[in-house]
């Protein structure tokens, strides 16, 4: 049973890791910042509320929470302006919630899942495609 759980958790980790990216774009840091805000709005339509905080000129921290304000995921988007006018953009997903349904609080009845995955995928796909 433990091996099956490890496989389920590893599959979730792989799906989340696939959402991380590092790309270079012709867009300016200001244009990328607007796209990050747009991606947060789009991902909010997938369920969780996405809150962005600009912690530095070229770094945004994001948190996704469900309707009960339980944190489902956190991520960082870092911008790196280059001398040729291009901008490197990196999305790094940090911590994320993994859950499964239980019966009587301790008997598992569903496989492990990541409730914030759909919103994270929406955010990542939108931003990557618009860059």
To the nearest whole percent, how much of the chain has pLDDT over 90?
A: 63
Tell me the domain boundaries of the chain.
2-130
Domain 2-130 in CATH 3.40.50.2000? The answer is no
> Closest by alpha carbon to 126, among 21, 56, 28?
21
Give per-residue pLDDT as tens, 103-123.
777 777 777 788 889 999 999
Name, in order, each residue with C-beta under 8 angstroms of 70's C-beta and a sequence gap of 6 or more: 97
Cβ atoms of 112 and 8 closer than 8 Å: yes
Residue 21: pLDDT band by 50, 70, 90 thresholds?
very high
């Amino acid at each position: 049973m433990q091996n099956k759980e490890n496989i389920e958790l590893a599959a979730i980790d792989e799906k989340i890791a696939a959402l991380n990216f590092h790309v270079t774009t012709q867009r300016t840091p200001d244009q990328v910042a607007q796209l990050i805000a747009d991606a947060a709005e789009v991902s909010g339509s997938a369920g969780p509320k996405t809150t962005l905080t600009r912690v530095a000129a070229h770094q945004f921290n994001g948190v996704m929470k469900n309707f009960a304000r339980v944190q489902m995921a956190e991520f960082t988007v870092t911008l790196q302006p280059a001398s040729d006018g291009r901008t490197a953009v990196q999305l790094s997903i940090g911590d994320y919630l993994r859950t499964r349904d239980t019966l009587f609080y301790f008997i598992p009845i569903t496989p492990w899942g990541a409730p914030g995955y759909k919103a994270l995928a929406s955010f990542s796909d939108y931003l990557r495609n618009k860059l």
